């Protein structure tokens, strides 16, 4: 039974990736502006796309967590940008981002595209961010 599930999953996974590549056809880019990290991507076709979810992992461990979402415009060849303002709370270093396509019917289309960025925020900013987080 476990083997059959593995075979079915291995057949369906490439289909989801293929569909995500029909929406986003290149690796998203990310850069640090000194305070935040900006993630940018372009679409090819946005038919039936509800939104894009942005996930972040610290370092190269690959434990991705949802950090935000951007609504689809439903216009092909659109440019998108997500600003990660929460990254200053961490010590800095290497971060990985990926953009997940969420369809109108709720399907999550994983993407093989992962972008890596180096971000070093100031110690004062990290400390202030930690103090603010305590009072939320």
pLDDT given at position 17: 44
Confidence of residue 87 (pLDDT cuts 50, 70, 90): confident
Q: What is the mean pLDDT of the chain?
A: 77
Full-model pTM: 0.71
Domain 2-134 bears CATH identifier 2.60.40.10 = yes
Using CA atoms, how far apart are residues 30 and 40, in angstroms rounded to an integer?
Answer: 6
| CB-CB contact of 46 with 74 (8 Å) | yes
How is residue 92 written in tokens?
A: 């800095």
Closest-CA residue to 117 (of 93, 90, 87): 93
Per-domain residue ranges of the chain: 2-134
* Helix (H/G/I), strand (E/B), else coil: 51: strand
């Amino acid at each position: 039974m476990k083997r059959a599930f593995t075979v079915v999953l291995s057949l369906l996974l490439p289909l989801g990736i293929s569909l995500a590549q029909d929406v986003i056809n290149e690796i998203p880019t990310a850069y640090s502006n000194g305070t935040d990290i900006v993630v940018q991507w372009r679409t090819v076709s946005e038919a039936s796309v509800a939104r894009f979810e942005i996930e972040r992992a610290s370092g190269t461990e690959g434990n991705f967590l949802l950090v935000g979402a951007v609504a689809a415009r439903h216009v092909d060849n659109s440019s998108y940008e997500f600003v990660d303002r929460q990254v200053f709370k961490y010590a800095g270093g290497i971060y990985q981002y990926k953009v997940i396509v969420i369809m109108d019917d709720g399907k999550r289309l994983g993407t093989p595209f992962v972008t890596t960025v180096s971000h070093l925020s100031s110690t004062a900013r990290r400390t202030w961010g930690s103090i603010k987080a305590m009072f939320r």
